[in-house]
Structure 1
């Protein structure tokens, strides 16, 4: 008795409609964002911990000085967005693997999406609206780079 198996790439009688494959794009995103995150994280750690005076120099003035420069605003925004989305995508994968109940899976993914959106919005808001030199603040509490009022 002989069994014939058609080649896997043989054209089928009915062609299926191709849909957006979120698992494939999630997998690709995890690899691409992981590479970029390694560069961003090590750059962040180098500037904050190695360059300059090290850990003892990190204070309100240091952070305020960094966040007053557009380069560091973009750097920190990329770090924030990529890390949060990377982590949320990993959590989505865990929810898909371990939540067997469809309703529970939808609730978990909805909560994960809501938390990610809120954290991205709040973090981005802080990065771009942070003012290390607020008007009316006592001069002795302001960082050294603030102009005297």
Structure 2
């Protein structure tokens, strides 16, 4: 009877001090994925299944949702979680397939800068949205904006 030789132990890289960012990234992906499922299906249900369904979605519907702090925060949380989740997933792909250290570093920085820019822009849009900016007398929103303003 033959025995199998003991496997060679891999050379372990020395453990760096500080937080294990890969572990926390892995945990974030799982937690944000679960939260995103709830947020996205809630978003789709409210927008597509209640009221008149897809026929109700227009500028006034969005303006009405963004006038409520609950929906503002719902959409901002969904935006932040989705963009960070997506950027972290893309970072993992870049780390797996880009072998040149310099190129990998540039791509990862570009991913996080793009995600940060979109988070900033999206958050500003949600919290500073004003449907009455630029409304003229020809617009169907004119009466509504006049009653709110005066």
Q: Under TM normalisation by the shorter chain, which class is it?
A: 0.7 to 0.9
Q: Distance in 2 between matches of 1:33 and 1:146?
A: 38
Distance in structure 2 (CA, Å) of the matches to 1:143 and 1:81: 33
Q: How many residues align?
A: 137
Report how far residue 138 of structure 1 moved: 2.3
| Residue 62 (structure 1) aligned with residue 61 (structure 2) | yes
What CA distance in whole angstroms lies between the structure 1 residues aligned with 2:116 and 2:137?
36
Superposition pairs of residues 1-149 of structure 1, within 5 angstroms: 18-134=17-133, 137-138=136-137, 140-142=139-141, 146-148=145-147
1:71–1:143 distance in 2 versus 1, CA, 3 Å: farther
Conserved 8 A contact 1:132-1:143: no
CA distance in 2, matches of 1:26, 1:136: 45
Distance in 2, matches of 1:17 and 1:119, equals 32
Measured at CA, do residues 144 and 80 of structure 1 come closer, stay the same or move farther in structure 2, by a change above 3 Å?
A: farther
- Structure 1 equivalent of residue 10 of structure 2: none
Cα shift at 1:137: 3.0
Q: Distance in 1 between matches of 2:135 and 2:37?
A: 40
- Cα deviations by residue, 1:30-61 (Å, 9 ceiling, x for unpaired): 00001110110000000000001001110000
Distance 2:51 2:143 in 1: 16
Aligned residue number for residue 6 of structure 1: none
Cα deviation digits, residues 71-106 of structure 1 (max 9, x gap):
000000000000000000000000100000000000
Taking only aligned residues, the RMSD between alpha carbons, in angstroms, comes to 2.4
Residue 145 of structure 1: how far off its partner (Å): 5.4
Length-normalised TM-score, structure 2: 0.83
Pair 1:89–1:144, CA change in 2 (3 A): farther
Check 1:58–1:103 CA distance in 2 against 1; reply closer, same or farther (3 A cut): same
Structure 1 runs (4+) greater than 6 angstroms displaced = none
